[in-house]
Structure 1
Amino acid sequence: MTFHDRHEELDALETAFESPGHEFFVVYGRRRVGKTELLKEFCSDQPHIYFLASQEAEHRQREKFVEQIATYCNDRIPRVDGWDEAFEYLGEKLALEQLVVVIDEFPYLVEENDSLLSYVQSFVDQQLQNTESMVVLCGSSISTMESEILGHESPLYGRRTGQIDLKPFSFREACELLTYDLDDAIRSYAITGGTPMYIQLFDYARSLAENIQTEILSPTAVLYNEPEFLLRTELRTPARYMSILEAVATGHTTPNEIAGATGIGSGPLSKYLQTLRRLRLIDREVPVTASAKQSKRSRYQVADEFLRFWFRFVEPNRSSIEEAPSVVYEGTIEPALPDHVATTFEDVCQEAVWEAIRSDELGPYSEVGRWWYGEDEIDIVGLAPNDDRILLAECKWTTDPIGYSVAAKLRDKADRVRWGPDQRDQEFALFSKAGFADGVAEALDDNWSLFSLSELETLLSESS
């Protein structure tokens, strides 16, 4: 996988290393998101020791760690009997030279010996803080990184000087890698999501259909079993979590619907949902006008586009894919793909709304999200409480241009959004894959903004 973007994160690491005093950084995020590539890019211009932990016996991990230090320093490899001695040896070297030391996949070491955290604490307090060097702990196990390293109960709590929670690319950030035209780029992003490795597995000289069948539906492809691998790295018994993810991906979005689809009782389900949220595999969403803590109108959605695609189309059809992947694609996936992409299109349009706010094309809103109540739904609603102004927008991923009726329905639904004073200001926007029917723009006043794919592309590219 090649390094792409991440300029802000790279600048943060470089600025920290160049600043006076020691640095103790924590870098974490889901697997495949590009943590290792970021750290390798950072280290390429700095004197560094890079150690990649693996799942093997503790004594062998410690030996390899010490070997890595000795190799960099051209030393004879010393014998150490514990992690305290290993970090003492590292501290002696950092006292002589300013270095970056990266320990990648640090949770593997913690799995073998949770006392390691106390040894690192002593190393930071007694040796690292007296140097100009930088130590980076990196890991893909979000649960371990957040609880064992960043958590209040951790021996390392309060010692970090910075952290980077590396997230998947937004659509705008991914666009340079998605070298299709905008239409197919959105379709492709609806399948790979913003995970750099998944994006780069696709060959953009081939059609999207070919990429899906080659890189996902083939039993020998990396992505065919990827979600199972991801879940097993975080969860000892992933079966129930997989059933919940499949239920959510196939349209069961409320707790009652998920319980009905999975047969899991409401008590245990609540705990499973909390775990999946903590692992960033699902998101809980409430109407933008409601309180996230108090609202009972919550919905759940799979947080990653690739997982949403996989649990909707691959997991339920495994047996058929093994026998006839092309039949599954043509008969099951291709007909339902527009509906799948439509949800992603809403998210892309929401990105565009924020860009339009930043560029003053839409005027400032502090909150942007979806809204629903009963049978009514609006794709994007923006709130400006200080100005008593509301934005209401619809996003249409259809083959037909939007007609005036869509605008009329949106205006009607706006009256049912209970927020702000009766005399609030209202702004409207329409996003359309297929553009707009003749006469629509002329029939609407200055409170309306219309975005076809070309306007959307211009808006997103201007901010790149």
Structure 2
Amino acid sequence: MTFHDRSAELDALETAFESTGHAFYVVYGRRRVGKTALLKEFCTDRPHIYFLAAQESEFRQREKFVERVATHFDDRVPRIDGWDEALEYLGDRLADERLIVAVDEFPYLVDENDSLPSYLQSFVDELLVDTDSMLVLCGSSVSTMESEVLGHESPLYGRRTGQIDLEPFDFRAARSVVGYDIEDAIRSFAVTGGTPMYLTLFDYDRPLGENVRESVLSPTAVLYNESEFLLRTELRSPARYTSVLEAIATGHTTPNEVAGATGIDSGPLSKYLQTLRRLRLVDREVPVTASPKQSKRSRYHVADEFLRFWFRFVEPNRSSIEEAPGVVYERSIEPTLPDHVAPTFERICREAVWEAVRRDELPPYSEVGRWWYGEDEIDIVGLAPDTDRILFGECKWTSDPVGHTLVSDLRETAERVRWGPDTRDETFALFSRSGFVDGLADDLGDDWSLFGLDDLRALL
């Protein structure tokens, strides 16, 4: 598989390794985001020991680790009785050679011996610290990495010299993979999201519908059971979590709506939502003008575009897909795909706002998000408290050009947003899939910015 992007992360790892003294990096993030690919790219052409942990007994894990170390140094495999001895053996060898030691899927080792972080603490403090070598711990279980490596209660707390929380690609980064034109690229991104592995499974010389039918809806395809697999690797009893995710993906975004759709009482539901947020499967959102800690107007959305697609279209139609996947696509997915793409388009437009700010095409804002109150809602609101400036934006993924009606509606709704003084500086932006009616730009002042697909292509 071709390695894409991640230049900032590679630069960080390379700088750490080339600097004088030891380095201890932590790389973590959800499954399939490319952590292993990043490690292997970093280790290429550099002296290294790469060890991939597996779900097996502690004895066998430790035995394989020592064998990897011995093979690298061309040693006879020593007899080792515990992790303390295994790490001491590694430390002795690092005294004579500078190299990278990368341990992938570290949580599997902790699952078999929760004392391992304590042994690693001694290794870092007493052996690694006196070398120019680098230890990298990598893991897909975000909860384990945050508690057993990064958390305040971990013996390893405060030892790391750097960390990389690897996220899925945003739309701009994904464009290096997605071969479609801008409109189909947005539609495709609404299916795959920014997870590198999912992006590379599509053949961009073929229509999007064919890719969805063959790479997602086929019962033999990797992505057909992908979401179910992800839940089973993270959760012992995924059934209720599946119900929660399906409810959110199909438009039930408030806790009350999710409770009504799933039949789960508010108490247990709160715990399920908290767990899904911790696993980065669900995000909580409040109006951009509200306090995240104090606001009770929270909404939830599935954090990944592919998971949102899967729980909206695949999970509810499993039986039909087994019988006739083509019919499911033509009758259930294709007609409602624009509704599914619309929230993705909004997120891409918010990404475009930040890029326009970086290019000085828009003035700077400290926060950009959504706003709602009662029946009122605005897709994009940007806040610049230092200058009392506020941005109002709407995003339309429709087949009709945007006209004066949306301009009037946005102005009217903006007046009801309580933020800043009466003399605040208001600016506006419109984003449209199908462009704008003739003459609209001429009728608007300098406080309005219009972005069509060609403008988004240039920005992203």
The verdict on a shared fold, with TM-score over 0.5 as the criterion, is yes
Residue 336 of structure 1 is matched in structure 2 by: 336
Q: Which amino acid aligns with 2:127?
A: Q
Deviation at 1:45, TM superposition (A): 2.4
Residue 227 of structure 1 is matched in structure 2 by: 227
Deviation at 1:256, TM superposition (A): 0.5
The answer for unaligned runs of 5 or more in structure 2 is none
Give the stretch that moved more between structures: 303-312 or 234-243.
Answer: 234-243
SS, match of residue 393 in structure 1:
strand
Post-superposition, which runs of at least 4 consecutive aligned residues in structure 1 deviate over 6 A? none
Q: Which amino acid aligns with 1:163?
A: Q
Q: Confirm or deny that 1:404 pairs with 2:410.
A: no
Deviation at 1:439, TM superposition (A): 1.4
Q: Which amino acid aligns with 2:176?
A: E
Deviation at 1:155, TM superposition (A): 1.2
- How do 1:25-424 and structure 2 match up within 5 A? 25-424=25-424
Deviation at 1:233, TM superposition (A): 1.4
Deviation at 1:119, TM superposition (A): 1.2
Task: Report the TM-score, using the length of structure 2 for normalisation.
Answer: 0.99
SS, match of residue 400 in structure 2:
coil
SS, match of residue 76 in structure 2:
coil
CA–CA separation in structure 2 for the residues paired with 1:308 and 1:25:
32
CA–CA separation in structure 1 for the residues paired with 2:229 and 2:358:
39
- Count of residues in correspondence between the two structures: 460
Deviation at 1:389, TM superposition (A): 1.2
Deviation at 1:148, TM superposition (A): 1.1
Identity value in percent: 76
Contact map agreement 1:2 1:37 (CA 8 A) in 2: no
Deviation at 1:221, TM superposition (A): 0.4
CA–CA separation in structure 1 for the residues paired with 2:191 and 2:252:
19
SS, match of residue 178 in structure 1:
coil
Q: Which amino acid aligns with 2:314?
A: V
Residue 24 of structure 1 is matched in structure 2 by: 24
SS, match of residue 276 in structure 2:
helix
Residue 448 of structure 1 is matched in structure 2 by: 448
| 1:327-380 deviation line (CA, Å, top 9, x unaligned) | 100000001100000000000000000111111111111110001111111100
Q: Confirm or deny that 1:435 pairs with 2:419.
A: no
SS, match of residue 430 in structure 1:
strand
Please give the root-mean-square deviation of Cα atoms over the aligned residues, in Å: 0.8
Deviation at 1:408, TM superposition (A): 1.0
SS, match of residue 395 in structure 1:
strand
CA–CA separation in structure 2 for the residues paired with 1:155 and 1:248:
38
| 1:303-324 deviation line (CA, Å, top 9, x unaligned) | 0000000000000000000001
The answer for unaligned runs of 5 or more in structure 1 is none
Deviation at 1:422, TM superposition (A): 1.1
Task: Report the TM-score, using the length of structure 1 for normalisation.
Answer: 0.98
Q: Which amino acid aligns with 2:419?
A: W
Deviation at 1:120, TM superposition (A): 1.1
CA–CA separation in structure 2 for the residues paired with 1:115 and 1:459:
49
Q: Which amino acid aligns with 2:381?
A: V
CA–CA separation in structure 1 for the residues paired with 2:326 and 2:209:
10
CA–CA separation in structure 1 for the residues paired with 2:70 and 2:254:
55
